């Protein structure tokens, strides 16, 4: 399959490596408004460089477009490609408003094309193993509560480009950018959100960014379980993301990509990783991006649904937007 990519910045390398590494795709062309970035990728890969998405899509007919641009461009670029009959793999978040999300979902349904969102942590061994374990309700009991903490470091230098930290282009701060993966995982494992009560703050980077650097929320899951969530970029380092799931008869903890069971006497036991044969990445071994991108291409070739589409991948966007709404109104925000 022929692949094109728009946005040759930091994350594009993971996409390009995965396109090159999965054996099902060939990088045809790349576009960036900073043409020197597109030229650099072109020199390294043999792809054809363009200075705009439209120029690229007018000239080339890729099967798949990888969208690696700032947040506010994701849905408009995806709709542009879908209208031209091109499958889209969108970096998170797939949309920045509920209106955009609805438009993306409608376009996915109407065109029948694949829309993928990059929640690559869903392919981590720990996440896959945990979901398998929690299915055994007889052994572990019902899920009672979940907690998630994202404590990372971002300073003024990170926000010195023309989009990070701005309401118009990043469309939020730590929640919509760094912590959206963890919200996605919590809602996935705990079975969907029905409500949130949240707060956001900008204490660490006041005067530097327009958006929040810290957020917290109480979570209500459809299963009846509750949850607590905290995210900040004011920590001294990028600590491993921490998630814990308290069931009636067991407690499971994810720290980074490690999964543990916490026994009732406090003893912590590491749970063995997935066996390679159980891993859905199949031959596509390696990072989450590689596994996700392989799975995305395989879903096109095998003509089967891609799981993290505009509907499933949009759930975390809905959660983020609900926390923003709650923070603004001071009230609980409901989720469908
Ligand atoms: N899945 C993950 O874990 C993960 C990690 C990092 C970043 N991301 C996401 O990837 C996206 C890009 O992040 P990044 O860190 O690579 O940002 P970046 O700023 O390094 O790269 C963005 C690129 O888009 C280009 N661009 C901007 N406007 C454009 C336009 N109109 N047409 C063409 N190109 C344009 C910029 O010139 C830049 O090269 C964001 O959505 C971010 O949230 C995801």
Contact 299, 283 (CB under 8 A): no
Atom of ligand 1 nearest to the CA of 71: 41
Structure tokens at 210: 């327009």
With a CB cutoff of 8 Å and minimum separation 6, the contacts of 49 are 29, 30, 31, 32, 35, 38, 39, 41, 42
Q: Is 146 in the pocket of ligand 1 (CB under 6 A)?
A: no
Please write the tens of the pLDDT for every residue from 257-270.
889 999 888 899 99
pLDDT at site 285: 37
Q: Which of 194, 163, 208 is nearest to 73 (CA)?
A: 163
Other Cβ atoms closer than 10 A to 278 = 11
Query: Around Cβ 11, how many Cβ atoms within 10 Å?
Result: 16
Q: Does any ligand 1 atom lie closer than 6 A to the CB of residue 95?
A: no
Q: For ligand 1, say whether the CB of 53 is within 6 Å of any of its atoms.
A: yes
Q: Which atom of ligand 1 is nearest to the CA of 37?
A: 39
Q: Each residue of 46-55: b (16+ CB within 10 Å) or e?
A: ebbbbeebee
Q: Judge if the beta carbon of residue 15 lies within 6 A of ligand 1.
A: no
For the chain (336 residues), the mean pLDDT of every run of 10, in chain order, is 97 92 92 98 98 98 98 98 98 98 98 97 89 92 97 96 98 97 96 97 95 98 97 96 96 92 90 55 55 94 97 98 98 95
Given a contact cutoff of 8 angstroms between Cβ atoms, the answer to whether 318 and 98 are in contact is yes
Compute the distance between CA of residue 176 and CA of residue 193 in angstroms, rounded to an integer: 16
Between the CA of residue 31 and those of 8, 53, 118, 154, 335, what are the distances in Å? Answer: 7, 6, 19, 27, 37
Structure tokens at 41: 């990728």
Q: How far apart are CA 62 and CA 311, in angstroms?
A: 24
Start-end of CATH 3.40.50.720 domains in the chain: 2-120+288-301
φ/ψ (deg, to 5) at 328: -75, -45
Q: Give the residue, by CA position, lying nearest to ligand 1 atom 25.
A: 7
Confidence (pLDDT) at 277: 46
pLDDT at position 287, please?
64
Ordered DSSP codes for 174-214: TTTTTTHHHHHHHHHHHT-EEEEEEEEE-SSSTTT-SS-SE
Residue of 163, 121, 130 whose CA lies nearest to 7: 163
Run of H or E including 322: helix 315-329
Q: Provide the CATH number for the domain formed by 122-275+315-334 in this structure.
A: 3.30.360.10
First vs last Cα of the chain: how many Å apart?
37
Intervals of CATH 3.30.360.10 along the chain: 122-275+315-334
pLDDT at 126: 87
Most informative mutation of 5, 7, 116 for ligand 1 (most atoms within 8 A of CB): 7
Contact call for residues 314 and 94 (beta carbons, < 8 A):
yes
Distance 149 CA to ligand 1 centre (A): 24
Q: Is 120 in the pocket of ligand 1 (CB under 6 A)?
A: yes
- pLDDT, residue 102, reads 98
Spatial separation of the C-alpha atoms in residues 328 and 218, rounded to whole Å: 15
What's residue 280's pLDDT?
40
47 lines ligand 1 (CB under 6 A): no
Cα(304) to ligand 1 centroid in Å equals: 28
Question: What's the Cα-to-Cα distance from 269 to each of 131, 243, 264, 315, rounded to whole Å?
Answer: 17, 15, 11, 32
Q: Report CA(128)–ligand 1 centroid distance (Å).
A: 27
Q: Which atom of ligand 1 is found nearest the CA of 181? A: 3
Residue 48: closest CA among 31, 63, 26, 36: 31
* Choice from 15, 67, 91, 174 to test ligand 1 binding pocket (greatest atom count within 8 A of CB): 91
Provide CB contacts within 8 A for 289, sequence distance 6+.
14, 15, 17, 18, 118, 120
- Quickly name the fold that domain 2-120+288-301 has: Rossmann fold (3.40.50)
pLDDT recorded at residue 278: 45
pLDDT number for residue 274 = 54
Q: How far apart are the CA of 83 and the centre of ligand 1, in A? A: 22
CB 208 within 8 A of CB 227: no
Ligand 1 centre and the CA of 146: distance in Å?
31
Nearest CA to ligand 1 atom 33: 32
pLDDT digits (tens, 9 = 90+) for 67-100: 999 999 999 999 999 999 999 999 999 999 999 9
Pocket lining: 318 vs ligand 1, CB cutoff 6 Å: no
pTM of the model: 0.96
C-alpha of residue 10 to centroid of ligand 1, in Å: 7
- Residue of 75, 105, 125 whose CA lies nearest to 255: 125
């Amino acid at each position: 399959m022929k692949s094109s990519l728009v946005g040759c910045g930091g994350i594009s390398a993971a996409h390009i490596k995965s396109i090159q590494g999965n054996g099902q795709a060939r990088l045809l062309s790349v576009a960036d408004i900073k043409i020197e970035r597109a030229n650099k990728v072109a020199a390294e890969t043999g792809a054809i460089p363009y200075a705009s998405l439209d120029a690229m899509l007018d000239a080339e007919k890729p099967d798949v477009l990888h969208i690696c641009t700032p947040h506010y461009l994701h849905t408009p670029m995806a709709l542009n490609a879908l209208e031209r009959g091109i499958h889209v793999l969108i970096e998170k978040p797939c949309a920045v408003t509920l209106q955009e999300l609805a438009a993306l979902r409608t376009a996915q349904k109407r065109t029948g094309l694949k829309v993928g969102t990059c929640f690559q942590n869903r392919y981590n061994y720990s996440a896959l193993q945990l979901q398998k374990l929690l299915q055994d309700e007889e052994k572990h009991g019902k899920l009672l509560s979940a907690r998630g903490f994202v404590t990372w470091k971002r300073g003024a230098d990170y926000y010195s480009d023309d989009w990070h930290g701005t309401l118009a282009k990043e469309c939020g701060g730590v929640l919509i950018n760094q912590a959206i993966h963890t919200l996605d995982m919590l809602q996935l494992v705990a079975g969907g959100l029905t409500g949130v009560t949240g707060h956001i703050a900008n204490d660490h980077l006041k005067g530097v960014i327009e958006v929040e650097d810290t957020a917290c929320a109480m979570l209500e899951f459809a299963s009846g379980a509750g949850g607590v969530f905290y995210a900040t970029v004011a920590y001294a380092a990028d600590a491993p993301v921490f998630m814990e799931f308290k069931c009636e008869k067991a407690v499971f903890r994810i720290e980074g990509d490690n999964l543990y069971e916490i026994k009732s006497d406090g003893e912590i036991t590491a749970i063995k990783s997935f066996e390679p044969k159980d891993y859905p990445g199949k031959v596509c071994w390696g990072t989450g991006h590689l596994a996700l991108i392989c799975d995305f291409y395989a879903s096109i070739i095998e003509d089967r649904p891609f799981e993290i589409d505009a509907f499933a991948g949009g759930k975390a966007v809905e959660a983020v937007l609900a926390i923003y709404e709650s923070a603004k109104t001071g009230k609980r925000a409901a989720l469908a």
